[in-house]
Structure 1
């Protein structure tokens, strides 16, 4: 009887030892495999519209963090011209020819870039950020709800200004569907109000946007100016700082310049999206698609906020406005 008890105890110790050894072996294998994957030289090319790198600082920070976590190398490419789709097509081809393993792109023109992006997606993973591509399906798309962003900036106008005033909407960059959707949301928000809407659209001869805004403010009597993207909102700031004109300003964007003049009081309210998350998630989606060897469609909606001078320093807003120093 004593021998049987000893035998059972012996085999229990042996099985326990084997179990622990097996767990240790599996953990070591998974760690080595994971480290190997993260050390892989995966090259990401990020191609954005516009020639202002500050515009993309928060997105870039999110992408850099994602690249650090996943073990990737990042090439960040801006354009020399604000809205030249031909240049962006050349940059896309160049990055693919130079050996990019994945592309993150903010298209300068939703229609004009469609074929180039669709062709690129046949050979490597592509993730669209901020603005979608017309007629192209099956690609990852990461953005805020642009229509709702437009609605919210319209609600800010209603809540913070008197009705019966003239509201000027700058018709810039509507070749991007993100801006077009924001415009639709804004117009719907004021549909049943008593504001007078004035749509400002430049002619080819109006090359200087701040000058155009200044001229319009003097000739139309608009009290409120609305800009639906970062570069246009910055042009409104330049017009009001350079020329002897005044207006209430509302817009969509969150560059350092925009945040500064919101705090300064020149801008009444802004709507902005969480571009850090947009950048990080775009890297994550690229790795998923690369692992599966195919572009898998998913649409990821990121958060956005509406803030003014009084609410910008609330902790929940500071985290998004100043992610780089958090």
Structure 2
């Protein structure tokens, strides 16, 4: 009987010792993992974008923030303080490099004027060009949609609705950005081939604010459609016609919640929506791979979709509007 009691005590002691060993081992593993995470090399990456409207970059920032949670990134996201930007961007680029950033992703405000600044920057850190498809050579990569194709496919979608013989106004601003000029060139080429007349609406020094200028242009000119080739100008077109009613059709390219809302409401007839979430995520992924493994940077073409009110809520467009990285 006493022997059974002793055996029972020994069994309990063995179990307790086993549990303690397990707890100690688990704690050691946890400490090891904590130390590993704590000691993991982190990478300082700067993202520099154009424009003063932070909402315009919400989808890009969501993709970047997801990458920051997946990779050891210390991020500095920089927007502009004013709309006269090329010189300011050059200074910001220089400042970020001097402050010790290890890599840069940049959406250039003026593709040609920024070319030399980017050329200088890439000699010191890897650089990814967002939106632009300018080939800057070694130690750079470009991530964005095929802007010429966007212009071509938007024109084809417009042609199906408008037919031929229409007069179409392009909001002719921000042409210093390669992405915008490529979209405009192909859009105009296809629309003209279809037998439509294309006119340019360009503000000059001393003109009204963008939305007032567009509203006045619609009132004073007989056009069937107005096209805006980026978020900024498309939002200005929306502001110009909102609440007043309008007879012109509105087409454009944009990603903001405001633009999608007015597409759903019917103010915007057809929209090109670019998957900027993926653009943000993949730019960070490629830069970290380069810094961590010294792998070459590589270009990445980003998907886009042409959306109208009828197919806004279909499965494919919902996946683009609320995307995940593929």
TM-score with structure 1 length normalisation? Answer: 0.84
User: How many angstroms does 1:188 deviate by?
Assistant: 2.3
User: How many angstroms does 1:165 deviate by?
Assistant: 2.1
Structure-2 change in CA distance of 1:132 and 1:192 (3 Å): closer
Whether 1:273 aligns to 2:274 is yes
Deviations 1:25-75 (A, max 9, x none): xxx9xx98xx56993221111100101111111111111111211111211
**1:110-259 map, 5 Å:** 110-133=111-134, 136-138=136-138, 139-241=140-242, 245-259=246-260
Single out whichever of 116-125 and 235-244 deviates more from structure 2: 235-244
Matched with 2:14 is none
Say whether the 8 Å CA contact 1:54–1:255 is kept in structure 2: yes
Unmatched 5+ stretches in structure 1: 1-27
d(CA) in 1 for partners of 2:185, 2:38: 44
Aligned length: 292
Larger radius of gyration: 2
SS in 2 for 1:211: helix
Runs of at least 4 residues off by over 6 Å: none
d(CA) in 2 for partners of 1:278, 1:60: 10
SS in 1 for 2:194: coil
Structure-2 change in CA distance of 1:299 and 1:37 (3 Å): farther
**1:72-83 map, 5 Å:** 72-83=73-84
User: How many angstroms does 1:116 deviate by?
Assistant: 0.9
Q: CA RMSD, aligned part only?
A: 2.3
Matched with 2:26 is none
Say whether the 8 Å CA contact 2:286–2:297 is kept in structure 1: no
Structure-2 change in CA distance of 1:43 and 1:108 (3 Å): same
Deviations 1:268-301 (A, max 9, x none): 001121111111110111112213558x452211
d(CA) in 1 for partners of 2:270, 2:102: 40
d(CA) in 1 for partners of 2:129, 2:258: 25
Whether 1:89 aligns to 2:90 is yes
Unmatched 5+ stretches in structure 2: 1-28
SS in 2 for 1:44: strand
Structure-2 change in CA distance of 1:84 and 1:246 (3 Å): farther
Say whether the 8 Å CA contact 1:110–1:175 is kept in structure 2: yes
Matched with 1:319 is 319
Say whether the 8 Å CA contact 1:218–1:245 is kept in structure 2: no
Matched with 2:12 is none
